Amino acid sequence: MNLLRLAAKSVWNRRLTAALVVLSIAIGVALLLGVERLRTQARASFSQTLTGTDLIVGARGGPVNLLLYSVFRIGDATNNIKWRTVEALASWPDVAWQVPLSLGDSHRGYRVLGTSAAYFEHYRYGAQRQLAFANGVAFGALFDTVLGAEAAARLNYRVGDRIILSHGAGKVSFREHADKPFTVVGILAPTGTPVDRTVHVSLEGIEAVHVDWVAGAPLPGHTLSAEQVLALKLVPKSVTAVLIGLKSKLSVFNVQRAINDYRDEPLLAILPGLTLQQLWDLLSIGEQTLLAISGLAVGCGLMVMLTALITGLNERRREMAILRALGAHPWQIFSMLIGEALLLSLCGVLAGFVLLQAVLWLALPVLGGQTGLTIASWPPSVRELEMLMWVLTAGVMGGALPAFRVYRLSLADGLTLRI
């Protein structure tokens, strides 16, 4: 304890240099832990977004792209599925249920999803959890809408408010369906998934706002009011994707093959879990690269500490010689230098962890709103704690080099040193 107290006073005596060393280590540690937390929790968040769905069906294209736009609302579909195909799939004997999804419009930066009432019954997330309502009920009328928890909170909407959809998926749109407003009839409970950032309407509602539009623009001279649209019998022409649940898990590959070989329309059926694993395989090289860069940043911080300790040895040789003259053993001098390295490393690790928490606290609202990721700031994982222990170990081992040099300095060398 006396040696640690002496090491702490020695570090405090050089507090400006020590602060720079701690800052260098802290930045590297924060970067290392941040990359690890983003990597692991992004995987966990993505894997919990959709459960209980056996197949996702969309227009033929890339499986990863189909997963991204249908589940995570990232990107857009290259083509749609005809409605008669959706009806045909529903009649297959192995299909227990299906949920059609139609994407395309937005509301103040939040994606609009056209779907059926089956969405609230069959959509599952996390540990097979069903969607629940914080307020209100599911849509029933043509111009009803159900908001996700985050969309309602950020836009300060309540049940009974009226909203206007915008054409296209951009954050800013100059083409709005202002003549056909929707009424908020329900707000979903938070799920930690892209559902929270989605505006839900019926498939017929999607058709209603586009009934007098052609090629992405209103049809001149043929505008229909909301009252006139209510009198029409609206049937969807196409949808973006379909979620399918099967009666038996054993038939999943047979149904997938049958859908991929569907003759009336080029389709693609994917298994969500398998496709998500393909996505991680694609991103694994980038993940490892980021971890390596973060490790180098930590290494640079430890090198700064080592450089500071070695550089200060010549200035401290008389100090060490006086300690030796006062009866300190060489191993005690060695231990004091190791203690300084330990204190600097420990302070750097703690400062890096605090820095990461602060960055997450500031960035989580923006990160969640932009990417849909749910990143928990606490508690640290076992792997993160192991990383911190490795950083401390590396710091102590780095401090062994200057400590060994001091150990070899002779008493006469220090006493005869000119100042």
pLDDT at 200: 96
pLDDT digits (tens, 9 = 90+) for 159-185: 999 999 987 765 555 577 888 899 999
Spatial separation of the C-alpha atoms in residues 131 and 188, rounded to whole Å: 7
Question: Phi, psi (5° rounding) for residue 185?
Answer: -110, -10
pLDDT at 412 over 70: no
Look at strands 95-107 and 124-125 and give their pairing. Answer: unpaired
pLDDT at 336: 73
Closest to 270 in 3D by CA, of 50, 74, 116, 111? 50
- Name the most confidently modeled range: 327-331, 339-343, 362-366: 339-343
Mean pLDDT over 383-396 rounds to 85
Closest to 97 in 3D by CA, of 79, 127, 77, 120? 120
Q: Could you tell me the pLDDT band of residue 395, with boundaries at 50, 70 and 90?
A: confident
Spatial separation of the C-alpha atoms in residues 400 and 412, rounded to whole Å: 23
pLDDT at 63: 92
Q: What percent of the chain has pLDDT over 90?
A: 33
Cβ atoms 32, 295 nearer than 8 A: yes
Place of tokens 């973060």: 294
pLDDT at 132: 94
pLDDT digits (tens, 9 = 90+) for 312-330: 666 666 666 666 666 666 6
The beta-strand segments (E) located in 211-353 are 213-214, 217-218, 238-239, 241-246, 267-270
pLDDT digits (tens, 9 = 90+) for 119-161: 999 999 887 889 999 999 999 999 999 999 999 999 999 999 9
Mean pLDDT over 72-78 rounds to 85
- Name the most confidently modeled range: 153-157, 217-221, 232-236: 153-157
Closest to 2 in 3D by CA, of 342, 401, 332? 332
Closest to 79 in 3D by CA, of 92, 89, 70? 70
pLDDT digits (tens, 9 = 90+) for 86-110: 999 999 999 999 999 999 888 988 9
Closest to 398 in 3D by CA, of 350, 340, 349? 340
